[in-house]
Every structure is written in C-alpha cells, then in structure tokens.
Amino acid sequence: MIKDTSTPYINLPKMPPFDLADIPHSPGCYLYKDGEGTIIYVGKAKDLRKRVSSYFQKKDHDAKTAKLVAAIRSFEYIITATEEEAYLLENTLIKHHQPKYNIDLKDAKSYAYIELTKEPFPRITIARNTRGNGQHFGPFVSGKERDYVLSVVKKTFRLRSCKNMPKNRPCLRYHIGNCTGPCGGHVSAEEYAKQCSYAADVLKGSTKEIKTKLEDEMVEYSKDMEFEAALLCRDMITAVENLSSRQYVARKTDHDEDVIAYRAADGTVYLMVFHVYKGTLGGRDEFIFEASEGFFEEFVSRYYSENPAPKEIIVEEELDEALGGYLGNLAGHMVKITVPKQGAKKKLLELAGKNIETVHFGDELKVMELQAALHLKKPPAVIECFDISHLSGTDTVASMVRFVSGKPDKKNYRRFKIKTVEGIDDFASMAEVVRRRYSRLIEEEKPLPDLIVIDGGKGQLSSAKRILDELDANIPLISLAKAEEEVFVSGVPFPLPFGKKTKANMYLQEIRDEAHRFAVTYNRLLRKKRLVK
C-alpha cells in the first residue's frame, strides 16, 4: 500500500462573509479576525481590494496561508494616504496585537531619522535615534524612502556629508557641484547656514514657505543677470515640489494624541477615533449612533470616562473649555483640545474623515462624482456596461454587467453568444448585443439603466448609439477606451477632459474591468467546451 504524504486538505470557504466590492482601491492595512473577534493577522496593501480579494480567489495557497484563510470570519481595514504609511501602521498594529499568523519579530528595529549635526558647518547624515545634539527629522517608514529624501536634500542644498572636514582640500562632491565646499573655504558660515535652514524647512514639511523664498531669489538673480544662480534656484524649487508630498502620519512628538472626526448623514453619525502614539498612527475606534443636539461633546465626555485620555485631542470643531478641564481631572494630567487650521494635525483629521467617507459613503461619492463629470441630469444609480470577447474571431461572446448604487448587481449580469456576426467585427457584435438587450427591456416594459458604458473606442460607441436611436431609447451613453482610459461621448470627436485618477474615472474603470472579466470567462468556457467535444 502506498502511503499518502501529501499536504492535508484544508476546507477553504468559497466566499468570505463580507462583500469584497465594499473594499476601496486604496493603500492601507487589513486586520483579519477569527470567530471570537480576535485579530489573527495584520497585513498591508497598495490596493486593499486587490490584496484582500486574492486571499479568497487564489487556490494554491501554502499551508500556513490556507489555515489563515480557513480561520477568517470577519475583518476590518484602515486606509492610509500613501503606501509608505501602510508600512508604518502595519508595524505598529503587529507590535500592539501580536497576531497569531504574523511573523514574530521580537527585536524589531525602529525607523531611522535624518540628522543635521550641531557643528559650525553642519553635515547631513542618517541617525538611528535622536540622542545626538543636532536636528532630527523623521522617522521614515522605510530605508528606501529615507535614502531618497536624504539624497535629494543633500544634492539640492549642497550640504556636506563627510565626517572629517580637512581644510583647503575640497572633496570630489564639491568639484561635481554637489557641495558648496566649506572645507575649502568656498562658502561663508552665513551662506551655509542659509542652505541648512532651507534643508531643515523641507525636511519639516514647510515646503510652501521655502518655495516662495526660492522663487523670490530666482527673480532677483534673473534681474541681476546672474542666470547660473537663478538656474540653481529653479532646480531647488523642482526638488522641493517633488518632496512636498512626504508622509505625515509618522511625526515625532513627545506625547500621545487622539484624532476624532465624524460625518453625519440622514440622522446618523459615523465617527472615528484615531490613536496616535508619540507621532505614530497606531489604531482606531469606530462608532455609529443616532444624531442629536450636542452629540459630539456628549460623545467626547462619555468616551473618555471609559477610556484613558491622551495629552492632546485633535478635533474638527471648538468644544466647551470646561470639557478640557473635566477630562484632565479624569486623566490626572492636562488634556489639550486642538482644532488645527493647517499642518500635520489638520492632515490627520482629513485622513480620519477620508476613512469615514470611504467606509460609509464611498459608493455614494463615486456615483455623485460621475454625475458631475458627465453633466448628467440625475445620478447614474443603475449602470450597464458591455464588452466583446473572442479569440481570433472564434467563440465571439459579449458580457453585460450591471452596477446599482456603486456596487455590482451580479444577479442581473448577462452574457450573450454573438449570432449574426462572422469573424472579427467588434462594431457589429456590439450593435447586436445592444439591440438584443434593450429591445427586450422595452418590449417587456422594464426600467432602462441610467447610463450605458461601452468598452471600446469611438467605433463601438457609434454602433451602440445607432441601435439606441433606432429603438428610440434615450439613455446616456459613453465609451471607455483601454489604451489611455479616455472617455468618449457620441458626436464629440475628442475625449472628455476626464481626470484619470478621479473617483469618477476609477469607478468607470472598475465597471469596465468587471465587464471584461465576465466576457473573458465566458469565452474561455465556450472554448473549453468546444475542445472537449
């Protein structure tokens, strides 16, 4: 008898106990939980929906991942502004929760800083901690990001990086223009201090002020015909603009903060509390309750009667001054309530609000934005999208997917075998499937969609428009071309001025990609059946 040494079969759930369509295409962290609500895995993702979906769509997981997937009963996610912030948040969440299926890093290193040393001519370098006497900037969430910022700032503001500064002997960096050469006496202490000041402003994130200063200097140099100096200013401005989108979740502070944001709609309040531990985003609490007069102050008062209050609470609106004193008495230390107007704290509030909007209003927002972008009279609540699929003209099929209020309505998906077209003719195939779909709806007196999307360019769009005109079906119609993600409407030779990274365009791409997937799946099924026969 042959002994079976294969890996034991893991009974994977066919689908997760939640709707994957609700997950946004955003960077962030996801937290998987078991049946008891215990967090068993924390992961990061550049695209949350794609990453989470992969766990339940792949069939060839390794044994550990298969056991993880079988144990998942629920999950939550936190979106971040950038992928780099997701790294930092993941690190914090793993250390805090120590999930069963994450790697146990007992001696995890902290993230590095950039340091401007305290010397007559400061040098710029990397520091693992903030024990030195110089200025420290960070922490940075990855060595790659830190090294990039260090390289750009060092070259842009031409700061020295050498440990020793021998007199009258400039190094190679001076000769290639990457250092102003304090070691050779080529720059005064005042001028070098100005370079360091500019670099420090950029590393702090104060890019608007430094950009204004550099623009003024560039104008003055140009007036004085000092074009080489003006060119250096221009290069500095470009570098500052490229670095202006640096992360803001990792900030160095000496105290903990809570960031509280909410959104109210239809009598319901959606509220989130972000916990920031000494400058690092570490987690959140989420609440949904009925709106009432004075609900926000009531929430803050009750929440901190049961939870420890940090030294600073960052909110979107002014609260009663007495509330701060009350919270301070509860906590045993002073509690500052801040309403920021700009800066990193304001951005943290915006990030909390973005999480609320994405989790609770994401579908509504993308539908409304699509209405505005296409100048439609009413929101396109019901959208139907068509795609044609074939292999060199054989087994030509069409798909129709239907989205309702921003979500796939899979029970109303339709697929078609093309009957009247021979060979490769996507225009005629599109005309056939549009005629079949809407002549039937009209005949059965069923509601028509609010918007029709055609996967293709102007040719497919014209074919569909001709059929709708014949049927006297007055339905808004657009097409989305794959190559450049351009949006076309009938009768306009040029694509609409549609931002490719807007919610509206991303929503159209989501619908188009689903139609393409559905069509390709059907085409492969028919080919497989034909080959079997």
The number of angstroms, rounded, from the C-alpha of 499 to the middle of its chain's C-alpha atoms is 16
Residues 26 and 87: beta-carbon distance below 8 Å: no
CA distance 226 to 234: 13
**H or E segment at 74?**
strand 74-79
CA distance 309 to 313: 8
Residues 55 and 79: beta-carbon distance below 8 Å: no
Backbone phi and psi for residue 426, each to the nearest 5 degrees, phi listed first:
-65, -30
Neighbouring CB atoms inside 10 A of 24's CB total 21
The number of angstroms, rounded, from the C-alpha of 285 to the middle of its chain's C-alpha atoms is 20
Residues 220 and 58: beta-carbon distance below 8 Å: no
- Among 519, 525, 527, 522, CA closest to 386: 519
CA distance 322 to 335: 11
Which pLDDT belongs to residue 435? Answer: 95
Who contacts 516 (Cβ-Cβ below 8 Å, separation ≥6)? 387, 389, 399, 455
Strands 268-277 and 135-137: unpaired
Who contacts 519 (Cβ-Cβ below 8 Å, separation ≥6)? 387, 388, 389, 397, 398, 399, 415
> Is this structure's pTM higher than 0.75?
no
- Among 492, 446, 441, 497, CA closest to 467: 441
Amino acid at 159: L
Which pLDDT belongs to residue 504? Answer: 86
Which pLDDT belongs to residue 127? Answer: 76
Which pLDDT belongs to residue 207? Answer: 64
The number of angstroms, rounded, from the C-alpha of 465 to the middle of its chain's C-alpha atoms is 36
CA distance 509 to 404: 15
- Rg for the chain (alpha carbons), in Å? 29
Residues 149 and 113: beta-carbon distance below 8 Å: no
Q: Is the peptide bond before 139 cis (omega within 30 degrees of 0)?
A: yes
Residues 488 and 481: beta-carbon distance below 8 Å: yes
- Among 289, 171, 44, CA closest to 182: 171
> Considering all CA atoms of the chain, what is the largest pairwise distance in Å, rounded to the nearest integer?
94
263 pairs with which residues across the strands? 270
CA distance 400 to 516: 9
**What are the CA-CA distances from residue 78 to residues 196, 271, 377 (Å)?**
37, 14, 34
**Length of the chain as a residue count:** 533
**H or E segment at 49?**
helix 48-57
Q: Which two tokens stand for residue 63?
A: 């044994």
Angle value at C-alpha 364, between 358 and 370, nearest 5 degrees: 110
Residues 471 and 334: beta-carbon distance below 8 Å: no
Residues 487 and 496: beta-carbon distance below 8 Å: yes
Q: How many CA atoms lie within 13 A of 108 on its CB side?
A: 14
CA distance 65 to 151: 39
DSSP state, residue 258: E
CA distance 25 to 83: 12
Which pLDDT belongs to residue 244? Answer: 56
Residues 92 and 85: beta-carbon distance below 8 Å: no
Which pLDDT belongs to residue 400? Answer: 95
Identify the burial level of 446 via C-beta atoms within 10 angstroms of its C-beta, where 0-12 means exposed, 13-18 middle and 19 or more buried. Answer: exposed
Q: Please write down the HEC assignment for all residues of 266-323.
A: CCEEEEEEEEEECCEEEEEEEEEEECCCCHHHHHHHHHHHHCCCCCEEECCCCCCHHH
* pLDDT one-digit tens code per residue, 25-63: 888 889 999 888 899 988 888 889 888 988 888 777 777
**H or E segment at 189?**
helix 189-204
Angle value at C-alpha 95, between 134 and 92, nearest 5 degrees: 55
| Look-up of token digits 């579908």 | 363
**H or E segment at 388?**
strand 382-391
The number of angstroms, rounded, from the C-alpha of 430 to the middle of its chain's C-alpha atoms is 35
Q: pLDDT by residue for the chain (533 residues), tens digit each? A: 233 333 223 333 344 455 677 788 888 889 999 888 899 988 888 889 888 988 888 777 777 778 888 899 888 889 888 776 776 787 678 778 888 887 554 433 444 677 888 888 888 888 766 667 788 776 554 555 567 677 777 777 778 878 777 666 777 777 777 687 888 777 888 888 888 888 887 776 666 666 777 777 788 778 777 777 777 777 777 766 655 544 444 455 678 889 999 988 877 888 988 888 776 666 678 888 877 777 888 888 888 877 888 999 999 999 877 788 888 888 888 999 999 988 888 888 888 888 888 777 778 888 888 998 898 999 999 999 999 988 776 778 899 999 998 889 999 999 998 888 887 888 999 999 999 999 999 999 999 999 999 998 888 999 999 999 999 999 999 999 876 788 888 877 788 877 777 788 888 999 999 999 998 888 888 878 777 76
**H or E segment at 42?**
strand 39-45
